[in-house]
């Protein structure tokens, strides 16, 4: 898991991720809308599925 640290980025975002899932031997991708309204620390799970 990657834990980047950013400050002063209040707003609406779309978090997008790509990767490799060795359990299915396939590339995966996915994304989720995300809003930041106050400076805080967040853990966000991004749902992914196989790339087609």
* Tens-place pLDDT, residues 1-52: 666 677 788 999 999 999 999 999 999 999 999 999 988 888 899 999 998 7
Q: Which residue spans within the chain are E strands per DSSP? A: 11-21, 26-36, 49-50
Domain boundaries, the chain: 11-50
d(C-alpha 41, C-alpha 5), whole Å: 9
Instruction: Please choose, from the candidates 31, 29, 37, the residue with its C-alpha nearest in 3D space to the C-alpha of residue 10.
Output: 37
d(C-alpha 25, C-alpha 38), whole Å: 39
d(C-alpha 45, C-alpha 15), whole Å: 10
> Mean pLDDT for the chain?
89
Task: Give the model's pLDDT for residue 51.
Answer: 80
């Amino acid at each position: 898991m990657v834990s980047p640290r950013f400050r002063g980025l209040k707003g609406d975002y779309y978090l997008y991720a790509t990767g490799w899932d060795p359990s299915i031997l396939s590339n995966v991708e996915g994304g989720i809308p995300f809003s930041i309204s106050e400076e805080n620390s967040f853990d966000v799970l991004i749902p992914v599925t196989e790339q087609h």
